Amino acid sequence: MNIDIDRLITYFDLKSSTDYGDTTATISVVGEDLCAGIFSHYCQTQRESNAEILDPNKWIPTTLKKVGRRLDRWILETKDEESILYQTEIKNWCSRAIGGVEIPLDVGAEELNRLAEVNWNHHIVELESPEPNGLNKVLVDMISDKNLGLNVVYKKEPLLLLWHVAKPLDKTGCFFNYQLPVKHFDYDHVLVFSCSLYLRQLLANGVAQISVDLPNVKRRLQQLNRLFPNVDQTQ
């Protein structure tokens, strides 16, 4: 599926481009597939690796307990003979999220870094909290990879995929390793990827569109078209 970078960033990063509830509805259809697909594109084009997103309808990261934490995706990145299996949590926070800030396309580098830190600081309390929550669950070791039957030797890492522009001021780029000041769970660090920062980087380099695989999005849109085939968009 081809994605127009300019339109996508404008839609999610500027409140004026949508009405109340629009982004929430859109995210429910495209959210997790979108961020995972953008990360896969980053791996292939920037890291020269292959990132396979394992089918979430069959396999998701869990603790193999009836009641316990679960994440959104297994993503297997392979380059040469080395593989990383990411236990991945996806958060589609955007400008309309609680505490979210608007970030125009033409913002300067210094201001972009400042706003990225504002977004990061808004959620860092959850990530560093000793109390389990919906963000720091990515730091809990998910052991359902035992059931994947992968025929490769891999290193397992926690990965946080974010839509919005978010990073500490001392980090550069859209993909970084964040070391936690105190270890409360199984991991003392988390890898973080910002989709918006990556797409802004591509746009600055003259890339207007990218093609990403969004299998669940395609199916859902087909279902919506069957349910509402004759919607008059002019009304």
pLDDT for the residue 235: 47
Task: Answer yes or no: pTM beyond 0.75.
Answer: yes
- The answer to whether 128 and 182 are in contact (CB under 8 A) is yes
Q: What angle do CA 169, 170, 172 make, to 5 degrees?
A: 90
Q: How many CB atoms lie within 10 A of CB 79?
A: 13
Going by DSSP bridges, is the β-strand pair 73-79/189-194 parallel, antiparallel, or unpaired? unpaired
pLDDT for the residue 115: 92
- pLDDT tens for 208-217 read 999 988 877 7
Return the half-sphere exposure (C-beta side, CA atoms, 13 A cut-off) of residue 148. 28
Q: Which segments of the chain have a pLDDT < 70?
A: 16-19, 21-23, 28, 95-99, 231-235
3-state helix, strand, coil split of the chain in percent (to 5) is: 35, 20, 40
Q: Cα separations (Å) of 60 from 70, 73, 94, 145?
A: 7, 5, 24, 9
9: burial class by Cβ within 10 Å (0-12, 13-18, 19+)? buried
229: burial class by Cβ within 10 Å (0-12, 13-18, 19+)? exposed
- pLDDT tens for 139-156 read 999 999 999 999 899 999
